[in-house]
Structure 1
Amino acid sequence: MNTMPVVEAHQLCKRYGATVALDHADLAVLPGQTHALVGRNGAGKSTLVSVLTGLDGPDSGTVRFGGEPAPKASDRDAWRARVACVYQKSTIIPELSVAENLFLNRQETRAGLLRWPAVRRAATDLLDRWSVDVDVRRPAGELSVEQRQFVEIARSLSFGARFVILDEPTAQLDGAAITRLFEHIAELQRQGVTFLFISHHLQEVYDICDTVTVYRDARHVLTSPVADLPHADLVAAMTAEDTGSAIEARITTARRDAPPVLRVRELNLEPAYADVSFDIAPGEIVGLAGSGGSGKTEVAETVVGLRKAGSGTVRIGDRRPRPGDVPAALAAGVGFVPEDRHHQGFVPEMSIADNATMSVMDRLGPGIFVKSDKRDRLARTMITRLEVKTPGPELPVSALSGGNQQKVVMARALAGDPRLLVLITPTAGVDVRSKEFLLGKVAEIAGAGAAVLIASDELDDLRLCDRVLVMIHGRLATELHAGWQDRDVVAAMEGVDLDV
């Protein structure tokens, strides 16, 4: 039996400025395995994948394939012959046919002309070899997510690689498609293909993987046969908890005897989520948790009008905003902090005053005109309220630090005194002090009677919550009340039973 690792990473270190992305990290994957790599966000998984695929080089440490040193970074053909990665976001070009995608820039030619019959024949042979049942003449844009993944795996194998990294492969699949994917992985494994399987759903690790490696805080924590590792021990390795202590509960301000501020009923938006229903009372903070592909972000964006559900209803107080209409949601009393402040949260070259008051310009009239003195007074009030460090409201937001930029985004959300505040990963990319300040403001808003929805997989964001609703594969799976432990939330998001 060959025990030489297909890939071996030894003592990898990688920094991006002040951020330590890998800290003397190790990994060894044996031939024919499906080897799981798990860890919380920021654990170092993505950086490791970048190093293993040659897209980024380590500051120190080594990578070896089959005992041989990794190729030079410039030799992309050599990398493709050793390792391939099928990412959560498809790299298939939808406008091209399946055959064109499989042999892009590698098509057979004669006298400078493409030989399409030969390309289609080669594509058919490739898919037949790796048991992929797809018509090679079909436009790739018509394929299902599952079919695109199978095509990407076959394309990867066509370069000669027999080591494939699957990055969150089930995030956009339903239960039946996941079962078919796992059957396909098992068949390829029998044919000598080795997989590194990255997933936020730990039950899938037990369903498909032989060995699991855990990363935490940019370091390798453990590697173990899956069969020898109880669920609770795996979660403990990810969270650095043994038994875990209950978090200190926030003194709730929820008024559950009052009519709900937010009522969500039977929301459906294929393929993102299905049959989602919940209420939020005045003064209540509810968390919507889940890993990538869980649907939590899409639900929150539907509530604020960024997405239009296929069916179901959203009521804010006594109003039912028109679906998919952000101004209607704002008029109903919604304040919103989006997931990506750089692309959704502010206009970089506009002033703090313009950004902070953008959601209430109709109040700064008359008519369609904005009175600059009125705008600046409100902006200064919000700057003081959010403690934005700036010489004045005229400064462009691009000149601020990340934490202060996020405070401006929060200021815009609060400028209209919302009855419902919706936040998506509200403390992403900010320093610890800014995080504490922002979450303190959220608690303050709830204390004044607003309802709050926080969609996040960050435990610090969720600690404020009176309840945490956990989503898996687009459906509400678990409800946790204040007093939960970190491992309870992580296990719920990963879909595992700690008692097994």
Structure 2
Amino acid sequence: MSHPTPAPAPALHAEGIVKRFGRTLALDGVGLTVAPGESHALVGRNGAGKSTLVSIVTGLSRPDAGSVAFAGRPAPAPGDRAGWQSTVACVHQKSMTVPELTVAENLFLNRFGPGRLIGWRRLRQRAGELLAGYGVDVDPRTRAQDLTVEQRQFVEIARALSFGARLIVLDEPTARLDARGIQRLFTRLRELQRQGVAFVYISHHLQEVYELCTAVTVYRDARQVLTATVAALPENELVAAMTGDTGGAARRRPATSGPASASASAEPVLRTERLALRGAFAPLDLAVRPGEVLGLAGAAASGSTAIGETLAGMRRASTGRITVGGTEVRPGSVPDALKAGIGYIPEDRHRQGLIPGRSVAENATLTVADRLGPLGTVRPARTREFARALISSLDIRTSGPGQPVSDLSGGNQQKVVVARALARGPRALIAIRPTAGVDVRSKDALLAVVRRVADEGGAVVIVSDELDDLRVCDRVLALFHGRVVADFAHGWSDRDLVAAMEGVGERP
């Protein structure tokens, strides 16, 4: 009598995972099960818990509760680097290769062999054999910095597999690939699946989930809300699971923000004509009128951030023009953008927004140094006076203008960044993810300040994929792969906007 062959153990089985960071519950009893040779999508809006789960299943952090197993065996012990490397790997959106080293050196980094002498010819030969075995057509002698994004991803996947890992986490792998690159990546992934390699696929582009994956798990607000077979799950149900918006009802701007004050007949404060940046976004015509807050909604690869940075002079457009109040702004020039009346809130306050060793006053007045003293000098007393007005206006919780900005909370640091953007009284304000990394109360306060710029007759552009940021907007343009795919009037629904941002119905 023959017995049925037992099903192989899951490549990954995580169950009941709980993770807290202080008082924040990042994961609330979630799970994820991935079969050998399966591409399993893990999706959810920002803050849903995806990144925290990935850090746990790749050994970077430990859960407060729950269990993780690979191929039926418990996860390696914390600190067992070799054990984790031979089990699972993550290929991040930002390459983790060492740019100055060759492909061969990156593949065998920290394992060149016994002894102090390295046999370079043998190393390159081993690298060539490894790459060929996984169908990666790259010269082992090439430096990583000279590879395309696509090639670097293949090298990182090959390196992970060379340790024996049979589970690979792909975090937004197509964010910087064109349509042909995406199809080449998918072809290679399918080949590896046939060899039994399993993938956890994280992407903001839902059409990729339907093209590549057989199963999908949705996280929302730190909880697991859905696991389903992709083929049996309509796109609208997947979007509804991500947003919690099952009925498609409009989510309107909070009443405290006031009605839209823009007039369709008013001359635009900020205008672009055929503005484009090669490789980032297609020609774009914008017209933002006095009293209007325009949202540019899209994920990392949508081009929305590049548009915001181009408007602020951080990038030089390939074609087109920008005007403020009818006056053309010199492209790619931050000083000219400031002079024209463009204020700018950057995406990353730590990297682009603040000088940590300086005071609140110095950070808040960086854009108005020419107004703080005669003949290019800066008078400390005038700096403090100017800063006190900004501190009061934005309710920045600080001991005074002289306090180091690094001593403030995240929300108050962000208010300093906003204060600097508003210091010159801008006619147009460009805000890129203005509430990133701040608490709920600070979010409301920051968005109220941004809204106030419009209510006082200015024009505002908010670049974000956070729905709460976009709720203060009078109009929202959804972007996907560098082009506008939908235009939403005030009163949009979460489900419809997310579907547009995620590319539902779009094909690369």
Q: SS where residue 398 of structure 1 aligns? A: helix
One-letter amino acid of the counterpart of residue 470, structure 2? L
Q: How many residues align?
A: 497
Structure 2 counterpart of 1:67? 72
Q: SS where residue 114 of structure 1 aligns? A: coil
Structure 2 counterpart of 1:478? 486
Structure 1 counterpart of 2:407? 399
- 1:268 Cα deviation (Å)? 3.3
Structure 2 counterpart of 1:169? 173
Q: Distance in 1 between matches of 2:11 and 2:99?
A: 32
1:396-448 deviation line (CA, Å, top 9, x unaligned):
22232222222222111111111001111111222222211221222221011
Structure 2 counterpart of 1:158? 162
- 1:103 Cα deviation (Å)? 1.5
- 1:3 Cα deviation (Å)? 4.0
Q: Distance in 2 between matches of 1:44 and 1:245?
A: 25
- 1:328 Cα deviation (Å)? 1.2
Between 134-143 and 487-496, report the one with greater CA deviation.
134-143
One-letter amino acid of the counterpart of residue 195, structure 2? Q
Aligned ranges 1:1-80 → 2 under 5 Å: 2-80=7-85
For 2:472, which of 456, 460, 464 is the aligned residue?
464
Q: SS where residue 300 of structure 2 aligns? A: coil
Aligned ranges 1:106-255 → 2 under 5 Å: 106-108=111-113, 112-248=116-252, 251-255=259-263
Q: SS where residue 189 of structure 1 aligns? A: helix
Q: Distance in 1 between matches of 2:182 and 2:30?
A: 30
One-letter amino acid of the counterpart of residue 314, structure 1? I
One-letter amino acid of the counterpart of residue 82, structure 2? D
Q: SS where residue 42 of structure 2 aligns? A: strand
For 1:334, which of 328, 334, 342 is the aligned residue?
342
Q: Given the alignment of the two structures, is residue 354 of structure 1 paired with residue 359 of structure 2, yes or no?
A: no
- 1:200 Cα deviation (Å)? 0.7
1:164-198 deviation line (CA, Å, top 9, x unaligned):
11110000111111111111111111121111100
- 1:317 Cα deviation (Å)? 2.2
For 2:384, which of 370, 376, 379 is the aligned residue?
376
Q: SS where residue 207 of structure 2 aligns? A: helix
Structure 2 counterpart of 1:95? 100
- 1:156 Cα deviation (Å)? 1.0
Q: Distance in 2 between matches of 1:252 and 1:74?
A: 55
Q: Distance in 1 between matches of 2:301 and 2:24?
A: 26
For 1:438, which of 425, 446, 451 is the aligned residue?
446
Q: Distance in 2 between matches of 1:100 and 1:267?
A: 42
- 1:229 Cα deviation (Å)? 0.8
Between 187-196 and 208-217, report the one with greater CA deviation.
187-196
8 Å contact from structure 1 (residues 339, 424) kept in 2: yes
8 Å contact from structure 1 (residues 86, 152) kept in 2: yes
8 Å contact from structure 1 (residues 172, 271) kept in 2: no
Structure 2 counterpart of 1:296? 304
1:343-400 deviation line (CA, Å, top 9, x unaligned):
2222233222222222111122211112333333322222221122234323222232
Q: Distance in 1 between matches of 2:42 and 2:242?
A: 11
1:290-329 deviation line (CA, Å, top 9, x unaligned):
1122221121111111222233322222333332221111
Between 245-254 and 116-125, report the one with greater CA deviation.
245-254
- 1:61 Cα deviation (Å)? 1.2
Q: Given the alignment of the two structures, is residue 272 of structure 1 paired with residue 275 of structure 2, yes or no?
A: no
- 1:105 Cα deviation (Å)? 2.2
- 1:90 Cα deviation (Å)? 0.4
Q: Distance in 2 between matches of 1:288 and 1:225?
A: 32
Structure 2 counterpart of 1:323? 331
For 1:428, which of 436, 441, 455 is the aligned residue?
436
Q: Distance in 1 between matches of 2:209 and 2:460?
A: 34
Q: SS where residue 113 of structure 1 aligns? A: coil
Q: Given the alignment of the two structures, is residue 366 of structure 1 paired with residue 374 of structure 2, yes or no?
A: yes
Structure 2 counterpart of 1:314? 322
For 1:260, which of 253, 265, 268 is the aligned residue?
268
- 1:45 Cα deviation (Å)? 0.7
Between 486-495 and 96-105, report the one with greater CA deviation.
96-105
Q: Distance in 1 between matches of 2:298 and 2:428?
A: 21
Between 202-211 and 272-281, report the one with greater CA deviation.
272-281
Structure 2 counterpart of 1:418? 426
Q: Distance in 2 between matches of 1:286 and 1:433?
A: 23
Q: SS where residue 302 of structure 2 aligns? A: coil
1:178-235 deviation line (CA, Å, top 9, x unaligned):
1111111111111211111000111111111000000111111111000111111111
Structure 1 unaligned blocks of 5 or more:
none
Change in 2 beyond 3 A, CA 1:431/1:108: closer
Q: Distance in 2 between matches of 1:12 and 1:445?
A: 43
Between 329-338 and 363-372, report the one with greater CA deviation.
363-372
Change in 2 beyond 3 A, CA 1:397/1:140: closer
Which 4+ residue blocks in structure 1 deviate beyond 4 angstroms? none
Q: SS where residue 274 of structure 1 aligns? A: strand
Between 168-177 and 119-128, report the one with greater CA deviation.
119-128
Between 214-223 and 255-264, report the one with greater CA deviation.
255-264
- Root-mean-square deviation (CA, aligned residues, Å) is 1.7
- 1:136 Cα deviation (Å)? 1.6
Structure 1 counterpart of 2:295? 287
Between 379-388 and 46-55, report the one with greater CA deviation.
379-388
8 Å contact from structure 1 (residues 108, 119) kept in 2: no
- 1:108 Cα deviation (Å)? 4.4
8 Å contact from structure 2 (residues 321, 329) kept in 1: no
Structure 2 counterpart of 1:83? 88
Q: Distance in 2 between matches of 1:461 and 1:481?
A: 15
Q: SS where residue 374 of structure 2 aligns? A: coil
Q: Percent identity?
A: 56
One-letter amino acid of the counterpart of residue 19, structure 1? T
1:84-109 deviation line (CA, Å, top 9, x unaligned):
11110101122122122112222246
Change in 2 beyond 3 A, CA 1:490/1:366: same
